[in-house]
Amino acid sequence: MSVQKVKEYLKNFGRDGQVREFPVSSATVELAAKALDVEPARIAKTLSFHGNGANGCILVVTAGDTKIDNAKFKKKFGFKAKMLGANEVSVLTGHEIGGVCPFANPEHAATFLDISLQRFQTVFPAAGSSNSAIELTCQELMMLSQAVEWIDVCKTAESFHNDRPLLAK
């Protein structure tokens, strides 16, 4: 089970005991926010994309109220953002859908943190299952995830709501 793998990984940092497991699903931003009783934006969702190599993938951890900005992603990585298919997620990330997280991933999975998370004191990434999470500061998330770097590849809730045309009355 992936949550056990994450706990073993976090044990190296003395943080395995801080993984929270819930009797309900936390597989989506909304469900995780409800299980944790926090605002959805504080959920650190991990999005999985095809990387440049044949077997590689890119994990982007971002605030729960953001979406990938395709132009920013392409500018940063040099290719169009293409999310992993359902049958590829566990193979390339080591975690099942709903539990994809920035911990205990295979070497070919490069983790990046989006700056949208930096507006919060603490955030809640999944911990390897569809009913787990851990609370971390952004500095702890950077260290524990062994992320490559902080990046800016998302648009905020305000900007993607403003992108929609207004309906005529």
Fold of 2-156: YbaK protein (3.90.960)
Residue found under tokens 């976090």: 10
Partner residues linked to 20 by β-bridges: 133
Give per-residue pLDDT as tens, 30-85: 999 999 999 999 999 999 999 976 668 999 999 999 999 999 999 999 999 999 99
Q: Whole-angstrom Cα distance, residue 96 to residue 54?
A: 20
Task: Say which residues have a Cβ less than 8 Å from residue 59's Cβ, sequence separation at least 6.
Answer: 46, 47, 48, 49, 93, 100, 102, 105, 109, 110, 111, 112
- What percent helix, strand, coil does the chain show, rounded to 5? 35, 25, 45
Confidence category of residue 2, pLDDT binned at 50, 70, 90: confident
Lowest average pLDDT, out of 24-28, 100-104, 131-135, 162-166, goes to: 162-166
Give the residue extent of every domain in the chain: 2-156
Q: 3-class SS at 61? A: strand
